[in-house]
Structure 1
Amino acid sequence: MIATACGSGSDGDSDSTATDTGSSDTADTSADADEPAEPAAPAAGIDLDAIMGADLDNCAAAPSGDAIKVGMVMDFSEAAGFVDIPGSKLVPYVAELANCAGGINGQPVEVRVAEAGTDAALATQELIDWGAHFFVGPPFADATLPMQQTGDGQYAIFAAASTEPTLADADSNTFLVTFDDFGQSEASAEYALSQGLTRAIVFTEGEGVPYSGVNPDAFVAAFTAGGGEIVSTQTYAWFVDTDFSSQVNDIATVADGTEVVFSAAAAFQVTALRAQLEGQGLDGLTYMGTDAMDATGVQFETGGEGMIHTPHTIIAAGGANDMLFQQAIAAGVELDSLGFMPLYVDSMLLGIQGILDCGCTEPSGIAEAVKNISGFEGTSGTITYAGTNGIPDKAVPIAQVQGGENVLLTEIG
């Protein structure tokens, strides 16, 4: 059973952190908030198997070195809370597992969470004062840019759940942990064309609008470049509209039932649209979408069967991520948007890998080492930053809802 955490940071806390609302409040996984750690000796890497397999009832000797301090500035608003709230609960739990396994190179890992609220800069400064070595940040630029400015661009910031292309900037030490909007929507277009789908209906909030417009823009460009035709472009309000009667009436005049319907809409919006289109006799349409479908639980939606989307990870029953989540839930950690959760875990691990690679705890040195990470095997896949502007070159999973589960069809890239 999955306990849902959404809408407010006060909806339950993990055992290792107490998250308060308000931009100036923080949560700490340890009562010790002393000076930043001294430089660590370089180490080859992180023993992920040991961390994931740690038994909190049977821990190794407690690590005794100086702490690795992970700062999390999270957005608990409606726009991002459905991923940042559970992410802010899972990361401290994984840190607890790491400490149970003996720490990282003998050092304990501490995590402190601060809600961005209306002042991400203040939340960032509080974590800098605490001694954070790097940051896990929220998905949107309105909070991440103040983080960059507050840290003078010296701190590595991992925008865990973000796919926003303009947010990544290696020069400012800001990194995505997954593919961007261009990557996922171009992959969707490529897959649609490979399946013989040459006619498309596109829903957008407008050209260039972050996420809800950029994804359709990228799909249209790739789809038409590959020989596809856009037969109808419709506008809507992202995460708001569920009455598509006007758009459906328009689509009914041009659609022949062989089209692919593409958008960056939430699952509840796409299933509402599907019901209304089928009410007009358009039963043969193919529905494709972005990671928003996964974030909003398309596999659990009535009407979600057969829909195709681009999740960040496929949580296979009995796999390492599934076992981690079930263990966390059993320990009282409230989780949701499970396909996104490995991105939060990897954000912490990538920062730690930067510390190990540079043998330092100076934020700028850690960030420089992160830029050179190549072939990092994380919980969400293989991540490389070397030679990029902060967007890892990751394959895009194409999944379909089958029998209420996400089933991997292929990977592109």
Structure 2
Amino acid sequence: MRRRTPVVAAFAALSLVIAACGGDEEETDGTEASQATDAGSSDATAGGGASGDCTLDEPLKIGYAADFDLGGIGDVPGSKGAEYTVEQINAAGGVGGKPIEFEIKQISQTPPDPAAAQRAVQELLDGGADIVLGPPFSDYGLPLLEVTNGSVPVLFVTSTEITLSDPGRGAFLVSFDDRVQASAAAEFATKQGFTNAVTLSSSDIPYLNITTAAFTEVFTGAGGTVAADLSFNLGDTDFSAQVNEIAALDPQPDAIYSAFFLPEAGIFLKQLREAGVTSAVISADGFDASEVWTVGADAEGVFFTSHTFPGPNNGVEQFLADYEAAKGEPVGTVAFGALGADAVNIAAAAASAACSTDGAALIEAIQNVSVETVTGTTSYVGVGGTPKRDVSILTVTDGAPALVEAFYPSVVAGG
């Protein structure tokens, strides 16, 4: 997910994580991503501590450089999930025998100012942050990395930005990137028997071009045809030109793919259906972040990619229930709240495995951990700065999101 211009770990199984950081050469390939064991889901609920055999000299301190303005669609639920998970870990004994310290610095500024991100992260570092949780978008994320410069790990909680995945600078995504989610969307479209598509792209932000280019590469590679790539701008309030062009196509496309958000997506869907176009609409995690189902009947039947969904192979449902019971309100967007919890779980597992809060040791530990998080197994072993994890395909049914399937694409664009 990119800017528009958004359980505690299964620490009972932490010994497995520590072993992965020790002498065990047997690496996971990530194909079981999102498939947590039953024990993992249960332990995530139980909230076991993360001390293991490690005793830290100083408490682990996590700083969240959060964008609560335009990036709030990700960072608001992400920060809630992260903070709650810190509370749960501390209630169970903390990490290395000490409670985690947690601080949030807001970097929001309109219009976006890269210096705001740099000031926020510098304040976190000056306050002793050992690990930084980063914002969703590269306009803040890249300037932030200029300050951290590999001195501490940065986990970008809800970002799918390819440019923010850079282990050499200590930078990691908590979930998949844009090429992966767009490739999964294209594979899903092909499996539905769709052979003809139209895409909508914008040059306003990379997200709106990278996704459509990746979709096109995989869809056409599987034998499909993309009849047109139509352009739009963020802030557009009228999509009649694009809708009329789609309606005039003969044949009309089986599918329309774009990674746009609300409100633009809502306007497009309304005008598309009013024009009598019945093509399937497929989108990216921006539909999830902006809660496309809230627009009503026009969103019924749309498909979109997301980072997770409550199910028997993860701890998401229990995490949501526990959070609401503790806080008296929902965490917000399910996937992004869960990713906030995942980020803290990864940080805690790395500190316990390294038995250190040293930046270089933590970066190395993250690259070698496999940990049961809320959304399933998260591993950076052998995959660089982006974990290999399943993409959830959701649809809107009766005004609410529902899971269709989850899988890792067999072909990833640019791979």
Q: TM-score, normalised by structure 1?
A: 0.80
CA contact (8 A) 2:117 2:144 kept: yes
Q: In the alignment, does 2:399 pair up with 1:400? A: no
Query: Which residues in structure 2 correspond to 1:284-323 (within 5 Å)?
Result: 285-302=279-296, 303-316=298-311, 320-323=315-318
- Quote the Cα distance in structure 2 between the aligned partners of 1:43 and 1:195: 42
Q: Which deviates more from structure 2 when the two are superposed, residues 290-299 or residues 381-390? A: 381-390
Counterpart selection for 2:123 from 126, 131, 136:
126
Which deviations, in whole Å up to 9, do the C-alpha atoms of 1:223-282 show, x marking residues without a partner?
1111111112211123x2242111111122114345201000115433432321222222
Q: Which amino acid aligns with 1:405?
A: A
Identity of aligned residues (%): 31
* Mapping for residues 150-161 of structure 1, pairs under 5 Å: 150-161=147-158
Letter in 1 for 2:259: A
Whether the 8 Å contact between 1:204 and 1:234 is mirrored in structure 2 is: yes
Q: Distance in 2 between matches of 1:263 and 1:102?
A: 45
How far off its partner does 1:103 sit? 1.9
Partner of 2:411: none
Q: 2:407 matched to which residue of 1?
A: 412
Report deviation, 1:49. 4.6
Query: Given that residues 44 and 356 in structure 1 are in contact (C-alpha distance below 8 angstroms), is that contact kept between their aligned partners in structure 2?
Result: no
Pairing of 1:3-402 with structure 2 (within 5 A): 45=17, 49=42, 52-53=45-46, 66-78=58-70, 80-117=71-108, 118=113, 119-206=116-203, 209-238=205-234, 240-283=235-278, 285-302=279-296, 303-316=298-311, 320-330=315-325, 331-332=327-328, 335-374=331-370, 376-402=371-397
The change in CA–CA distance for 1:125 and 1:270 in structure 2 (over 3 A counts) is closer
Is the 2:77–2:340 Cα contact (8 Å) retained in structure 1?
Answer: no
How far apart, CA to CA, are the structure 1 residues paired with 2:343 and 2:237?
34
Write the distance in 1 (CA, Å) between the matches of 2:224 and 2:273. Answer: 23
User: Which range is displaced more, 354-363 or 115-124?
Assistant: 115-124
Query: Contact 2:309–2:316 at 8 Å: present in 1 too?
Result: no
Name the stretch that deviates more: 301-310 or 380-389: 380-389
Structure 2 unaligned segments of length 5 or more: list them. Answer: 5-13, 19-39, 49-54, 409-415
> Is the 1:68–1:108 contact (alpha carbons within 8 Å) kept by the matching residues of 2?
yes
The AA in structure 2 aligned to 1:273 is F
Question: SS of the counterpart of 1:89?
Answer: helix
**In 2 relative to 1, CA 148–274 (structure 1 residues): closer, same or farther, beyond 3 Å?**
closer
Give the Å deviation of 1:170.
0.9
Number of the residue aligned with 1:21: none
Deviation at 1:364, TM superposition (A): 1.1
Assess, with a 3 A threshold, how the Cα gap between structure 1 residues 288 and 267 changes in structure 2: closer, same or farther.
farther
Quick one: which amino acid aligns to residue 114 of structure 1? K
Partner secondary structure for residue 310 of structure 1: strand
Give 3-state SS (helix, strand or coil) of 2:101's partner: strand
One-letter code of the match for 1:226?
A: A
Q: Which residue of 2 aligns with 1:12?
A: none
Instruction: Name whichever of 98-107 and 337-346 sits farther off.
Output: 98-107
The answer to whether the Cα contact below 8 Å between 1:43 and 1:356 also exists between their aligned partners in 2 is no
Q: Is the 8 A contact 2:81 2:339 kept in 1?
A: no
- Cα deviation for residue 167 of structure 1 reads 1.3
**CA displacement at 1:81 relative to structure 2:** 1.1
Measure the CA separation in 2 of the matches of 1:135 and 1:48.
26
- Going from structure 1 to structure 2, the CA distance change for 1:377 and 1:113 (only over 3 Å counts) comes to same
More helix by proportion, 1 or 2?
2
Please name the residue that 1:32 is paired with: none
Question: Residue by residue, what CA displacement relative to the aligned partner does 1:138-161 show, whole Å, maximum 9, x if unpaired?
Answer: 011222223222223121101111
Is this contact kept in 2: 1:89–1:333, CA < 8 A?
no
Counterpart residue type for residue 92 of structure 2:
A
The answer for the alignment partner of 2:28 in structure 1 is: none
Contact 2:320/2:330, CA 8 A, preserved across alignment: no
Deviation of the 1:204 alpha carbon: 0.4
1:37 corresponds to: none
**What's the C-alpha RMSD, in Å, of the aligned pairs?**
2.7
Q: CA deviation at 1:402?
A: 1.9
Give 2:210's aligned amino acid.
V
